Structures are given as structure tokens and as C-alpha cells.
Homo-oligomer: A and B are copies of this chain.
Amino acid sequence: MSKEQKLSTESYKGVRDFYPEDMAIQRYIFDTWAKTAESFGFERYDASVLELSELYKSKGAENEEMVNEQTYTFIDRGEREVTLRPEMTPTVARMVAGKRRELTFPLRWYSIPNLFRYERPQRGRLREHWQLNADIFGSHSSMADAEIILLASEILKGFGAKKSDFEIRVNSRKLWNAYCDSWKLSDDQRKNISGLVDRKNKISGEEFISSSKTILQDETIHQEFCALMDGTSSAQEKPEHAELMNVIESLHALGVQSATYDPTIMRGFNYYTGTVFEIFDTNLDNRRSLLGGGRYDNLTGLFGGDPIPAVGFGMGDVTMRDFLESHSLLPQNLQGVDIAVIPMSEEYVAPAEKIAATTRAAGKKAYVSLADKKVGEHIKQAEARHARAIIVVGEEEIASGIFTLKTLADGSTTTGSIEDLLK
């Protein structure tokens, strides 16, 4: 490439560069996720972003379409078809199934993977995003469902969200399937009506009613369906309803009062088998879904052997950051060092490095201001770097061994030897 041809400084389309300011927010989000998950005894795992494409094709035709049209899939030099993972659940199911004989169940596992989707970039729908994934493997207990939802709720509270900032809506695929069974729906009808319910909030009430009528055809069934959606049906007659209420009551007992039954919660993936849930922002201007998950008891069966029951959820970094920003929950001072050591001129850089080393040995973050500039410029830079204090190093200080520590927030100063100042 000749000197005239300048390289572009743009990132690849639809992915993000994390400069330190954004990275500090990203790390705050990841750290809060990790800390809360670990407080529940969840253990962290990870895997490569590269997976064999067959992992995503196995779950049925609709996923095959997803792999072909919405993923980064390519053929490697060994003629293997490889995909950049679009979600983590197939990977974790593969890992759990792969060591099922060595692992002690139930497992509580979490991860913070990056995921790729080949989509037209738009707000909140980038081609790459990060997601917290937390799952319990090996428990059929409804308390595992309740605990997963409690964890999601505690994570939001861990960011400083109030209970009133979000609400939890829970449904059961089992209960929904029991309705579909009682209505004797065909496979096509089930698929179409489930898809319609999943889109309910994106279409008008009239369209919802007319489309559901078209799918269900039978008038009595349609009335039952509408009653179910409105919450006026006799759902409580079904045993699956009691199971679901068990999860919700356990949540109430654990202090999660905002959990309610919502028959319209469906979740996109077809691998869910029981409880499904979503958490919504209660902000009237933006009632977005913050996260969702559910029980998927059959997925590990794809790898052979008895399926291992599982329940979990996923929570994206972009949605999380939007939520924290709109509720003013992002802390200040995510960046910064304790002390900037400022040499008066070039010859004091070496002693400044020694002072910085002493400062670090005392457990504080310190850097030496290397630029060949006037002291005023160094101080401006220290402010830009969010340094909490500065120490200037010049002839007088070196001769006397007496230094001045200046706190930048209030301009207050303390004088003494470096050892004294670090106390």
C-alpha cells in the first residue's frame, strides 16, 4: 500500500470500539453482573466464539434458516462450516452434556460472551453484543426457576434500580401447551398462534384479534384464547397453572413482589419447555423488555443421553446500558488514578518514576506525566485522566525530600516525605 492510500480508522460495520470511557462503563456492567451472580454461588465459564455450524442447525428448520440468513458462517481451510456464535445456550448445553459424568449437578453457571448476528445495524441491534447468561442445570425444582428470576431481579437492584423501576412477568410454556392441546391445534396453528402472541405488543389490538381468529378458525376456541390473553379465563383449573403459581408465590416469599402471571409472555426460542419470563422497564416512556429467559429441559438431549433439566436467562449489554442511563444509575468516577506524579522537566522523569513505584508499592494507582510540557499542562492532563491528586517533582523537592500532595477536587495540599504522604 502506498503512502497516499490512507487506511480507514473506522471499525467494521455494526461493531463497537470501546475507548476507555466506554470501556469503563462496560466493565462496570460486567463486574456488577459477575459480582451478583457469584453472590448466588454461580461459577463462571467461557468458550470460543467459534462453533461448528451444526450446533445451531440441530434445533429445527427455523434455526436452519437463522443460521443461513442471520449468522456469520463461513467455511474454514479444513472445509468445516464454522459460525460465530449467535447465542450462548447451545454452547453451554454442549459443554454440560460433554462432561455430564464428571460434573456434580445441579450446576449454577454464568458467562459473559460476545454474540454475533448478521443484521442491519440499528439502535440496540448491533452485529456484535455482549450478554450475561446465567443457568441452573440439573434441577427440576420450581425453586430453581424462582432463583433464576430472583437473580435477575437482584442484578437490577445491584445496579441501584428500585423495585418500582421494573416488573417481572411470568408465563409457562407447559400451561400454554395445555391450552393448545385442549384446543386440538395442528402444528402449524400452534406455531402461528405462538408467533402472533410473541408479536402482540408490536401490532394493534384489532390486528391481534383478527389474525388470531384467522389462525384458530373455531369461534369457541377463539373466545377462550381471547379470555386467556385478557386474563379473564379460568386458567386456574389447569394443573400447569398451579405449578406456575408456585414459582410466582416463591418469588413473593423471597421479596420479589412485582412478579405476576402474564399469558402473553412467549419468548422466541422454541427450546423452552416450562416457565418463561421477561422483566420490563416500568418507565412509561419506554416499556422495553430488559431481559428474559425460561426453562429448557430438553436441549442437552441433542447430544445423547437423558436430557438435563435447565433454567436460565440472558441480559444484553446495550439494553443494560440504556436502562442505566435513562434511570441515571451510572456511577461517576468509573475511571481514574490516585496520584499523577509530575516532573518539572525531563531530568526529573527518572526520580518521578521512582516515586510512582513507591506509590504503587503502597497499593495506590500512580502514573508519571511523561509529556514534555509546562506544569500547568500536566495538571490539565491529570484532570482529564481523573487523577485524584498530584505530586510535582523538581529540584527543590529532590534536594529536600519534602513533597506536596495536592488533591484536585478541592485544591487542598499536604506536605511531607513520600512515605508520610502515602499514609
Contacts and interface: CB of A to CB of B under 8 A. Distances in A.
Nearest to A53: B12
Contacts of A141: 346, 349, 370, 372
Size bracket of the A interface: 35 or more
Contact of A366 (B41, B335, B353): B41
A210 interface: no
Interface in A359-385: 360, 364-368, 370-372, 381, 384-385
Nearest to A59: B1
Number of copies: 2
Contacts of A136: 370
Contact of A45 (B10, B19, B365, B368): B19
A6 B138 CA distance: 20
A30 to B, nearest CB: 11
Interface in A85-127: 94-95, 97-99, 104-106, 108-109, 114, 116, 118, 127
B9 A58 contact: no
Contact of A1 (B7, B58, B138, B385): B58
A19 B91 CA distance: 12
A15 interface: yes
A12 B253 contact: no
Contacts of A106: 370-371
A9 B94 contact: yes
A349 B253 CA distance: 12
A321 interface: no
A357 B150 CA distance: 10
B143 A349 contact: yes
A127 to B, nearest CB: 8
A224 interface: no
A218 interface: no
A8 interface: yes
A95 B366 contact: no
A327 interface: no
A94 B19 contact: no
A381 B103 CA distance: 10
B7 A58 contact: yes
A7 B94 contact: yes
A76 B14 CA distance: 12
A230 interface: no
A337 interface: yes
A366 B23 contact: no
B11 A48 contact: yes
Given A9-B303, A253-B354, A371-B139, A44 B24 contact: yes
Given A11-B51, A12-B52, A143-B353, 17 more contacts: A1-B57, A1-B58, A7-B55, A7-B58, A7-B94, A11-B47, A11-B48, A12-B51, A19-B45, A41-B340, A41-B365, A41-B367, A48-B114, A48-B128, A139-B370, A141-B370, A146-B353
17 contacts: A1-B302, A6-B304, A7-B58, A8-B52, A8-B54, A8-B94, A17-B48, A20-B44, A38-B365, A39-B364, A39-B366, A41-B367, A50-B72, A50-B128, A139-B370, A141-B346, A143-B350
